[in-house]
Amino acid sequence: MTVYAIIGGTGLTQLEGLTIRQAQSMDTPYGAPSADIMRGEYAGREVLFLARHGQPHRIPPHQVNYRANLWALKQAGANAILAVNAVGGIHAAMGTGHFCVPHQIIDYTSGRAHTFYEGELEHVTHVDFSHPYDETLRGRLVAALAAEGCAYSGHGVYGCTQGPRLETVAEITRLERDGCDIVGMTGMPEAALARELALPYACLALVVNPAAGKSAALITMAEIERALNEGMGKVKAVLARVLAD
């Protein structure tokens, strides 16, 4: 049976019907993960949860220990990853509250520990990353979004920027020219590390604001938090459908 790990915010531990059995503190060769791994059960299925930014929400995107997070989840028994990401909308279809299940990603980050294959190696390893997201998991997320009646796009290109600042209008223009539909700060190296560990991985992205220059108004944290609060119920419902499948 698939053991799903969900990477996201602390609110996801409150899925209706979820029973938390254990908060598991783990160490890895790459240091400590962002938070304890919450081990629970949903609809008879074992589920793992990890708060990407810690509990409380305190670790900025460029300082998340992505290697420790993915390593710990695999050691805890995860064999599939569902990542929840808050993003900005670039494409006209990606309005606030819209969901996207991306099929591709472009990495604009720098300086992040992005691979397990470094140091004293016996040989060089190249991992195919042509299609960064697992198609089976993507299909399950898309089916769940449709069943819940959510506004969503079943494909999209995620542009991952360094953060923690938001992007300039010129940067978003560049990302749009490159083919990006949404922009976020946590999609990489998380997806690539999952691939190196042979963990099927998919992303459920919730648009929480128009990207820079896509609205006449300035982007505010109040606006983002409001969109997160309004969208979290739908996120939980979608994940519950996938977990119960």
What is the distance between the alpha carbons of residues 152 and 99, in angstroms, rounded to a whole number?
A: 4
211 marked as binding residue: yes
What is the distance between the alpha carbons of residues 18 and 31, in angstroms, rounded to a whole number?
A: 29
52 marked as binding residue: yes
- Asked whether 98 and 210 are in contact (CB, 8 A), the reply is no
What is the distance between the alpha carbons of residues 150 and 143, in angstroms, rounded to a whole number?
A: 10
Q: Which long-range CB contacts under 8 A does 56-59 form with residues at least 24 apart? A: 56/10, 57/9, 57/10, 59/34
Taking phi first (over 0 means left), then psi (-120 to 50 degrees means alpha), and beta for anything else, what does residue 162 get?
alpha
List, in order, residues 6 or more apart from 90 with CB less than 8 Å away. Answer: 159, 172, 175, 176, 180, 181, 182, 183, 211, 214
What is the distance between the alpha carbons of residues 96 and 23, in angstroms, rounded to a whole number?
A: 33
1 marked as binding residue: no
- Asked whether 113 and 190 are in contact (CB, 8 A), the reply is no
43 marked as binding residue: no
198 marked as binding residue: no
DSSP per position, 53-101 = TTTTT---GGG--HHHHHHHHHHTT--EEEEEEEEEE-STT--TT-EE-
Residues 220, 225, 226: CA angle, nearest 5 degrees: 100
Q: Which residues are annotated as a binding site?
A: 10, 52-53, 185-186, 209-211
Q: Which residues are annotated as a binding site for substrate?
A: 185, 209-211
Q: Which residues are annotated as a binding site for phosphate?
A: 10, 52-53, 186
